[in-house]
Amino acid sequence: MQSRASLASWYALLVLSVATLYAVIDRQVIILLSQQLKADLHLSDTQIGSLQGFGAVLFASIAAFPLGWLADRMDRRVLLSLCVIVWSIGIATCGLATSYPSLLASVALLGAGEAGLSIIVFALIPQLFAEKQRMTANFIYYAASVVGGGVGIALAGLIIDHIGVISHLVPTGEFTRETWRLVFFAVALPGPVLAIAIVFLRLNSQPAPAPISTATAIELPELNFRAYLAANWKAISAVFVPFGLVILGASAVFTWLPIILMRRFEMTPGAVGAGLGTAMVLGSVGGLVLAGTAAKTMKSRWGVMTPVRVSQIGYSLYALIIPFYLFARTPTEIFVIATIQMGLGIGGNSLLPTVVQDLAPPQLLGRFFAISTVSSTLFGVISPVMVGLLSDHVFGPESGLQMASLSVAFPAVVIGATIYWLADRHIARTIAKVRAPDTSPPLPPGELAGDDRWPPSTARKEA
Q: CA–CA distance from 448 to each of 213, 216, 226, 424, 452 (Å)?
A: 13, 9, 15, 32, 9
Q: pLDDT tier at 436 (50, 70, 90 boundaries)?
A: low
Q: pLDDT tier at 450 (50, 70, 90 boundaries)?
A: very low
Concatenated DSSP letters of 1-18: -HHHHHHHHHHHHHHHHH
On whether the pTM is more than 0.85, the answer is: no
Residue 101 is which amino acid?
A: P
- Decide which of 360 and 430 is more confident: 430
Give the per-residue pLDDT at 196.
95
- Decide which of 174 and 204 is more confident: 204
pLDDT digits 0-9 by tens, 263-300: 889 888 888 888 988 898 899 889 888 888 888 888 88
Please, is 440 exposed, middle or buried when counting C-beta atoms within 10 Å of its C-beta (0-12, 13-18, 19+)? middle
Q: How many CA atoms lie within 13 A of 264 on its CB side?
A: 20
- Alpha carbon distance 16, 81 (integer Å): 11
- Decide which of 349 and 313 is more confident: 313
- pLDDT value at 158 more than 80: yes
- pLDDT value at 64 more than 80: no
Give the per-residue pLDDT at 172.
65
Residue 42's closest CA among 117, 126, 124, 98?
98
Average pLDDT over residues 84-105: 91
- Would you give the end-to-end CA distance of the chain in angstroms? 55
Residue 254 is which amino acid?
A: F
Q: pLDDT tier at 205 (50, 70, 90 boundaries)?
A: low
Contact 74/120 with Cβ under 8 angstroms? no
- pLDDT value at 217 more than 60: no
Please, is 59 exposed, middle or buried when counting C-beta atoms within 10 Å of its C-beta (0-12, 13-18, 19+)? buried
- pLDDT value at 432 more than 90: no
Backbone torsion region of residue 321, taken as left when φ is above 0, otherwise alpha when ψ lies between -120 and 50, otherwise beta: alpha
Q: pLDDT tier at 318 (50, 70, 90 boundaries)?
A: very high
Average pLDDT over residues 223-235: 79
- Decide which of 58 and 419 is more confident: 419
Residue 199's closest CA among 75, 112, 86?
75
Give the per-residue pLDDT at 335.
95
Q: Is the bond leading into 455 cis (omega within 30 degrees of zero)?
A: yes
- Mean of all residue pLDDT scores within the chain: 79
Average pLDDT over residues 111-125: 80
Give the per-residue pLDDT at 2.
45
**Where are the alpha helices (H) located in 303-423, listed in sequence order?**
306-321, 331-349, 352-359, 365-390, 401-422
Give the per-residue pLDDT at 363.
62
Q: pLDDT tier at 220 (50, 70, 90 boundaries)?
A: very low
Q: How many CA atoms lie within 13 A of 7 on its CB side?
A: 4
- pLDDT value at 91 more than 80: yes
Give the per-residue pLDDT at 340.
95
pLDDT digits 0-9 by tens, 127-137: 888 767 766 67
Q: How many CB atoms lie within 10 A of CB 199?
A: 14
Contact 182/160 with Cβ under 8 angstroms? no
pLDDT digits 0-9 by tens, 400-410: 888 999 999 99
Give the per-residue pLDDT at 249.
92
In the 8-state DSSP scheme, what is residue 455? S
- pLDDT value at 171 more than 80: no
Q: pLDDT tier at 366 (50, 70, 90 boundaries)?
A: low
How distant is the alpha carbon of residue 136 from its chain centre? 20
- Alpha carbon distance 19, 77 (integer Å): 12
- pLDDT value at 207 more than 50: no
Residues 6+ positions from 132 with CB-CB distance below 8 Å: none
Q: pLDDT tier at 331 (50, 70, 90 boundaries)?
A: very high
Please, is 430 exposed, middle or buried when counting C-beta atoms within 10 Å of its C-beta (0-12, 13-18, 19+)? buried
CA angle at 404 for the pair 423 and 277, rounded to the nearest 5°: 85
- pLDDT value at 82 more than 90: yes
Give the per-residue pLDDT at 325.
94
